[in-house]
Amino acid sequence: MIFNFINTSRLKKDIQKLEENIVLLLANDFPEMAENYLHWIFSTAGQLADKTIYILHQSTDNLSYERNRIKHKQHFFLTGVEVLDKHTGIYTPIKLTVSNNLIQNISLPLNKTLRRDYELSHLRINNLHKENFFLKNTDEIKLKTILSNISDEQKNLLETENTIEIELEEKYYYTIIDMEDGNYIAVNKRGNVFRLIHDHEEPVKKIFQNVQKLMEVYAGNKYELQKYLEQ
């Protein structure tokens, strides 16, 4: 049991080291990815049945998580990174799956372990190729249900495509207007409208009974809503 724990712990450290080295290697080609890693902490990692490496990350707080997820929307596969094989002395191709500018999966041949098979500090770039993929926003589907009774014209004034689910005080909110600096106008599952403020003694406050009431004072200019953040 202790032996297995040591092996698992070592694997996680090796994966973390490999990820850090890949991000550094790609910093010039993908500066937004490098910048995004400043706001995330390595949480855990492991191997799937097909030996694909998965990596999980965590942010320092919920609003930082949501803010970064809005800013970094890219989802893509990336090839062209190679790592040195200890046994053959040949560089082996790596395939990366990147979501929200964070590496989620690393695919490469594994005979034994990362540490035994590869020199984790010996990486190089060889003909980078990026292939974007679409990741469905499940939060948007939930929001569409909540906003089913408002007109398309009204929906066009809201930022429904970028909505994110935020959990505060064990309740869920769906953003409809990004007021910047980690602040949002959002709705709950009942359709009530709230202002969410980052780093505030009262982070959640109801400001309208429903979206129709919001639309009576909002015509697309976010400045019109600034006073509600100050309440």
- Taking only the tens of pLDDT, the chain with its 231 residues reads 333 333 578 888 999 999 999 999 999 999 999 988 888 888 888 888 777 898 988 776 665 566 666 677 788 999 999 999 999 999 999 999 998 899 999 999 988 789 899 999 999 999 999 999 887 778 888 999 999 989 989 999 998 887 888 887 778 899 999 887 778 899 999 999 999 887 677 889 999 999 999 999 998 888 889 888 877
Q: Are residues 16 and 106 in the same domain?
A: yes
* Domain final position from 132, 152, 169: 132
Same domain, 151 and 41: no
Q: Which of 110, 132, 154 is the last residue in one of the domains?
A: 132
E strands present in the chain: 41-47, 53-58, 75-85, 91-99, 102-107, 118-132, 165-168, 171-180, 183-187, 193-196, 204-208
What pLDDT, on a 0 to 100 scale, did the predictor assign at position 139?
A: 84
Which residues form the domain of 210? 138-229
Same domain, 15 and 98: yes
pLDDT for 58: 77
pTM summary value: 0.64
168-176: long-range contacts at Cβ-Cβ below 8 A with a sequence spacing of 24 or more? 168/62, 168/196, 168/203, 168/204, 169/203, 169/204, 171/204, 173/204, 174/139, 174/142, 174/143, 174/146, 175/66, 176/143, 176/147, 176/211
User: Alpha-carbon distance 156 to 186, whole Å?
Assistant: 15
Asked if 124 and 142 sit in the same domain, the reply is no
Residues 108 and 25 in one domain: yes
